[in-house]
Structure 1
């Protein structure tokens, strides 16, 4: 039975409370040289972002744009605070952590367009911000990985700026698939995935849009090089691996790394050894890209 907008909003509010209460970071607080909170003007109003940097800005620095997970309807930039601090401490760049608007109050394409506007602001104000507009990478976890992939497609289409790299961390890349036709892990159940779809999509036709389901894009050529991280027991693993293969087949330099025995969101909830290995891989790849 289809839920009304009011019912979805009520469910989302409770889900956010439960999600926030269950947030347990796998590591301790990490200091950075400079942390700031900003409001950036976007197409739908001001968007809150957190910025982190530990390197000197004697010359323009690269940027990594982070997009948190939570199925488009839960979570916030705060959930990735430690993740971003660790990245800023390991990689000589400015980390920009976007607190994009959530569904169902803000359905597709609002979070995508809002995030795009933040990146365009960074690009257009690069000189003032002392950042390198040719060295902007993007990445995210789960729904954030979906948004990151969508941003790369959108940037390629509009040609207002470009990304130098994309990090897709156990991303959702095909929302046209019936969640109940796929397996589940203890975090990402079919029922929860169906709720995410109901909240994020305006109609079921949206699921066929490549900006919602990047795996359905006809052409993946000329996209930025990619690191795709998957978890062996994650129901999203097949679509992420298919996307990585399609990127490679399209001539996009791609690394796809699966972590054995792990479930969805393992980089944030453990096991710790695998999470730390994944982080090191991300840090290493970003350092290489930013040094080229």
Structure 2
């Protein structure tokens, strides 16, 4: 293995993270925690939490959404939330993951992985991988059909899902039958033209995100942090990829979709018109409702195609 070259690319941007001081970031995450607790689950979904050991002496939490009407063994979605690698689970993700479970009659496992800067790469990647291993080893306990486990996430959570898929691919193992990506982050090299087009998430903020995540040199392949640096995606499962018209990360997601297709992966791609990154935090908007229907229809086609 070679030294982790991304570190050399992002270390010059570390001063951009100064505004996220040891005082400010806990306040932001504390506010998100309080807001998330106020979000009410839709009727028909139960939730439980399981703490599992991480790769060190710490633990991580799996939040499991179980539809009351699900028939076991159930299909499942292993999900990683978007965090820019440093923000705690946002309130709208609690609502969205519960809705995915309710609208697909599938069990959804939301992984509460550890965050930078206290836990930089590779710890969140290892957390994501550890969560996947635990779920795959406990399908009977969870009531999950091992042949119908999808993996995905939104934004930086999509990155982690991709990293996990590539890790298993490198070992010629393909435990997931479908991948599900919402406005994905895919390339630490930040080559997409749209990064320079829209003001909502500037190039400087994107560089700050990566500089907080990549803190030190690590002897791991770049693709385990930056999936577009993979040599090939061949053999990976069918995919859903959704990007937003007014998202600085739009082109990054489209390039990712194109790379999958070039390597023979069947991809359903949607560019949501008039939408910005994380537009679905507005629960009552017609756009959110429309795209939630599109997403759950795609998941249902994947989950139940074998059963007609």
TM-score (norm 2): 0.83
CA distance in 2, matches of 1:53, 1:232: 33
Where does residue 48 of structure 2 map in the other structure? 36
Contact kept? 2:32, 2:90, Cα under 8 Å: no
Conserved 8 A contact 1:230-1:257: yes
Matches within 5 A, 1:49-68: 49-56=62-69, 58-68=71-81
Give the SS at the match of 1:18. Answer: helix
What SS class does the counterpart of residue 63 from structure 2 fall into? strand
SS in 1 for 2:224: coil
Q: Matched residues in 1 for 2:90 and 2:171: separation?
A: 26
Distance across 2 between alignment mates of 1:145 and 1:206: 22
1:14 equivalenced with 2:24 (yes/no): yes
- Correspondence 1:256 to 2:266: no
- Aligned counterparts of 2:87 and 2:101: Cα–Cα separation in 1: 24
Worse overlay, 282-291 or 203-212: 203-212
Indicate yes or no: 2:287 matched with 1:277. no
2:168 corresponds to 1:168: no
Partner-residue secondary structure (3-state), 1:117: helix
Q: Report 1:35-114 matches (<5 A).
A: 35-44=47-56, 45-56=58-69, 58-76=71-89, 79-114=92-127
The corresponding residue for 1:231 is: 244
Find the aligned partners of 2:284 and 2:229 in 1 and give their Cα distance.
Answer: 32
- Which residue, out of 132, 138, 148, partners 2:161? 148
Q: Give, in angstroms, the shift of residue 129 of structure 1.
A: 2.1
SS in 2 for 1:31: coil
Distance between the aligned counterparts of 1:206 and 1:266, measured in 2? 36
Q: Deviations over 1:154-209 (max 9, x none)?
A: 12123455111111111111111279993254542223212111110134889981
Stretches of 4+ aligned residues off by more than 6 angstroms: 22-25, 178-181, 204-208
8 Å contact from structure 2 (residues 79, 151) kept in 1: yes
Matched position secondary structure for 1:182: helix
Gaps of 5+ in 2: 1-11
Partner of 1:134 in structure 2? 147
Distance in structure 2 (CA, Å) of the matches to 1:173 and 1:12: 27
- Indicate conservation of the 8 Å contact 1:8/1:104, yes or no: no
Aligned residues: 289
Going from structure 1 to structure 2, the CA distance change for 1:250 and 1:13 (only over 3 Å counts) comes to: farther
Shift in CA distance, 283/116, structure 1 to aligned 2, threshold 3 Å:
same
Matched residue of 2:223: which SS? coil
1:60 and 1:97, CA in 2 relative to 1: closer, same or farther beyond 3 A?
same
Contact 1:50-1:77 within 8 A present in 2 as well: no
The Cα RMSD (Å) is 3.0
Following the alignment from structure 2 to structure 1, what is the Cα–Cα distance between the partners of residues 157 and 288?
17
Are the counterparts in 1 of residues 32 and 88 from structure 2 also a CA contact under 8 Å?
Answer: no
1:2 and 1:286 mapped to 2: Cα distance?
38
Matched, 1:189 2:241: no
1:194-233 alignment to 2 at 5 Å? 194-203=207-216, 209-233=222-246
